[in-house]
Amino acid sequence: MEKFNRSKKRDDYGAQQQYVENLSHELLTPLTVIRTEAELLLQSENIVENDLKHIDKIIETVNRLAKINRGLILMSKIHKGIYIDCEQVDICKLTERILVNFENQIELKNILVEIEKKDVVILETNKTLIEILITNALKNAISHNVINGKIEIVFSKNKIIITNTGMVGVKKPQELFNRFVSDRDSMHSIGLGLSIMKRISDYFNYSLEYSNVEKTHVVTISF
């Protein structure tokens, strides 16, 4: 009976994953249509200022839904083990390249970024997933930072530590990587970023830890 229950739970979970993936793919078309129609309305000659605000809100909401949808598809692919190709990746160089993509956000908040390379970190891993993992970590460190804040990135043996200033931390850090646990005050938080980080870390047996002391936040990824 116990073996049957385990098998049934595994089948049910697999069916649930397939349902989520199918639903996510079905949502792509209507989301694209809504965004396209809203963007066409913005080009109308008869549009008034009040309408602009409503249309901007529609586009913003659709973009948010699209991000959630992409996140669900990604998590489903990771669960299925689709990302199996591995290559040597220089984590230090990859992180510096990702930071370039956030230059505008960093400059806007006047965030000081300090990088310390204690060791060269080179992994045999899937480049797509590791890039998503680090991108999410850096994006959180920037988006949840404060004006004139600071980010410290330390590379040590098989480890990257990202420390950032920010608002007061969550009461239960151990729950932060659960799905849909997010900063409710942030318009740009989709609630899946940290969950995706956890899924990728589990996929490669990496250790992912978060801690906070008052207004300082630390994310440690151990490879």
Q: How far apart are CA 8 and CA 2, in angstroms?
A: 10
Other beta carbons less than 10 A from residue 149's beta carbon = 19
Instruction: Quick: pLDDT tens for 29-48.
Output: 788 888 888 888 888 888 88
Measured in whole angstroms, the distance separating CA 28 from the mean position of its chain's CA atoms is: 19
Q: Are residues 126 and 204 in the same domain?
A: yes
- Name the band, by pLDDT with cuts 50, 70 and 90, for residue 186: very low
The residues, any chain, with a CB within 8 Å of residue 134's CB and separated by 6 or more, are 91, 94, 95, 98, 160, 221
pLDDT score of 179 more than 70: no
Domain that residue 128 falls in:
87-222
Q: Are residues 71 and 92 in the same domain?
A: no
Instruction: Quick: pLDDT tens for 134-169.
Output: 999 999 999 989 999 999 999 998 899 999 999 876
Instruction: Quick: pLDDT tens for 65-119.
Output: 887 777 777 777 777 777 678 899 999 999 999 999 999 999 999 999 999 999 9
* Residue 93 belongs to domain with CATH number: 3.30.565.10
Give the end of a domain, one of 57, 80, 103. 80
The residues, any chain, with a CB within 8 Å of residue 5's CB and separated by 6 or more, are none
pLDDT score of 12 more than 60: no
Q: In the chain, pLDDT over 70 holds for what percent of residues?
A: 78
Q: Are residues 113 and 210 in the same domain?
A: yes
Closest by CA to 112, choosing from 155, 156, 143, 142, is 142
For residue 137 the two structure tokens come to 């970590």
Q: Are residues 116 and 150 in the same domain?
A: yes
- Name the band, by pLDDT with cuts 50, 70 and 90, for residue 190: very low
> For the residues 175-203, what does the mean pLDDT come to?
63
For residue 112 the two structure tokens come to 């000081």
